[in-house]
């Protein structure tokens, strides 16, 4: 069975500050890991993914995440927050095969103040 825990349902940062959104996962098989962003009244957009290889993955809009197997974590970071980063962020895990279900966390709302 697989599961995802996102620590902190709401994170607030100032514009220009570091963004850190936490994600821990549980998986009985080597996982694929994903971060998605959702803007109000929209679907999900993929920010980045880890499948195999390099554990530090870079995504769109300046985001990156590091897969740490020993800590079962996949935290999302961005060095400098922008107002446009305000949105809902979801971490997801799946098995390491195409066509398996994505298991999502409950999400973290990121607020950015000027």
Partner 1 sequence: ETGVTQSPTHLIKTRGQQVTLRCSSQSGHNTVSWYQQALGQGPQFIFQYYREEENGRGNFPPRFSGLQFPNYSSELNVNALELDDSALYLCASSGLGSYNEQFFGPGTRLTVL
Which one among 51, 61, 84, 113 touches partner 1, defined by CB under 8 A? 51
Tokens of 77: 């970071």
| Residue 6 CB, nearest approach to partner 1 (Å) | 8
Task: State yes or no: residue 69 binds partner 1 (CB under 8 A).
Answer: no
Task: State yes or no: residue 28 binds partner 1 (CB under 8 A).
Answer: no
Measured between alpha carbons, how far is 47 from 57 in angstroms, rounded to an integer? Answer: 10
Q: 86 to 105, contacts with partner 1 by CB under 8 A?
A: 90, 92, 94-105
Task: State yes or no: residue 36 binds partner 1 (CB under 8 A).
Answer: yes
Task: State yes or no: residue 46 binds partner 1 (CB under 8 A).
Answer: yes
Helix/strand number for the chain, H first, E second: 0, 11
First and final CA of the chain: distance in angstroms? 42
* Angle at CA of residue 69, ends 21 and 66, nearest 5°: 40
Task: State yes or no: residue 22 binds partner 1 (CB under 8 A).
Answer: no
Measured between alpha carbons, how far is 80 from 90 in angstroms, rounded to an integer? Answer: 19
Interface with partner 1 by CB under 8 A: which residues?
Answer: 4, 32, 34, 36, 41-46, 49, 51, 90, 92, 94-107
């Amino acid at each position: 069975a697989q599961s995802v825990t996102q620590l902190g349902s709401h994170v607030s940062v100032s514009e220009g500050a570091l963004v850190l959104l936490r994600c821990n996962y549980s998986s009985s098989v080597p996982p694929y890991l994903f971060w998605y962003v959702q803007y109000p009244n929209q679907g999900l957009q993929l920010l980045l993914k880890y499948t195999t290889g390099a554990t530090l993955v870079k995504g769109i809009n300046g985001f990156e995440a590091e897969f740490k197997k020993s800590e079962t974590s996949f935290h999302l970071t961005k060095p400098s927050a922008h107002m446009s980063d305000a949105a809902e962020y979801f971490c997801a895990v799946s098995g390491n095969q195409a066509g398996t279900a994505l298991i999502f966390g409950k999400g973290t709302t990121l607020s950015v103040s000027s």
